[in-house]
Structures are given as structure tokens and as C-alpha cells.
Amino acid sequence: MASFDHEMLCPCKSNKAYKACCQPLHDGHLLAHSAEQLMCSRYSAFVLKNTTYLIATLHPDKREVDDETVLKQTMAQTQWLGLKIIAHTPTGKVASVEFSAFFQGKSEIEQLHEKSHFINENDHWFYVDGEILPTIKLSRNDLCFCGSGKKVKKCHIS
């Protein structure tokens, strides 16, 4: 796990301190109360290179023996910049969350736009799988995905 100042803002861009946001979930002190919260905590686990949490919150049927290796490779190659939750569709014990996660590509900023599927079993939310969707167009006047509070055009995309 990467070293991280716990007073700093949570990587999930909630604008809360890490210790008041995703840390209790990462440490196992709290369970995610919604698929959206699990989604955010999995994103911040990616940023913090917490493979243990990512595997623990992946549905047991979906786990593969090489999960940890694959995750570590992805983490080493990806510099995440921010997260935008687009839609959250809870339907009881199954839910979906649509999001775009932004990362630094070779020359420009790239985006993972995904609709993720979650299931709740015995009060635990698990990530099941996701559909990759076409990238969304950002309005240059939107607030930037990185959480700076500035407009996109004045921040990450000029």
C-alpha cells in the first residue's frame, strides 16, 4: 500500500478527509452501505494500491488466481486523476453505478467510462463486473474531475 497522509482529502474526490471517508472501509471497520460507496472506496483503493481491499470486494465467483499480479501491473501503469459518478441505480440487492475515471495517458488524459454491476450478499456489497462505455464529452465549464474546484478548461484540459 502506498504511503498516504490520513488527514489529506480522500482520493475518491468526495472532498472529505480520507480517515472520514474510505479509510474505515479499507481498514475493515465499516461496510459500504451502498454500491456507490463501495465503488468510490474501490477507486480510492486503486489510487492507494490496496490490492487486498480490491480482491476482498470483488465477488468471490469472479476472483482469479492472478488477480493480485494483474492489479499490480495496472496500478504500476496507471496514474489516476479523478472520478466522476454519473449514475447510481440501486434495485435492492443488485445495483449498478456508472462512472468515469480519468487517468494520465501517454500524451493526453484518458478516461475509463464504465457501468459497474454490484450485488449485496449478507450485507456485503461486491463488485461483479462492468461494461465499458464510450467516453463522455466533458463540458469545459464543468468542475474538474480532479477535485480542484476549478473548471475543466482552467485545470486539466486546456
Nearer to Zn ion, 12 or 95 (CB): 12
Nearer to Zn ion, 4 or 113 (CB): 4
Give min distance, CB of 69 to Zn ion, in A.
26
Q: Which residues bind Zn ion (CB under 5 A)?
A: 10, 12, 14, 21-22, 44, 144, 146, 148, 155-156
- Can you tell me whether residue 148 is helix, strand or coil? coil
Give min distance, CB of 114 to Zn ion, in A.
18
Nearer to Zn ion, 55 or 155 (CB): 155
Give min distance, CB of 49 to Zn ion, in A.
15
Give min distance, CB of 42 to Zn ion, in A.
10
Nearer to Zn ion, 11 or 114 (CB): 11
What distances in angstroms separate CA 109 from CA 47, 102, 138, one per listed residue?
16, 7, 12
What distances in angstroms separate CA 113 from CA 120, 122, 156, 158, one per listed residue?
23, 29, 17, 21
Provide the greatest CA pair distance for the chain: 46
DSSP 29: S
- Can you tell me whether residue 86 is helix, strand or coil? strand
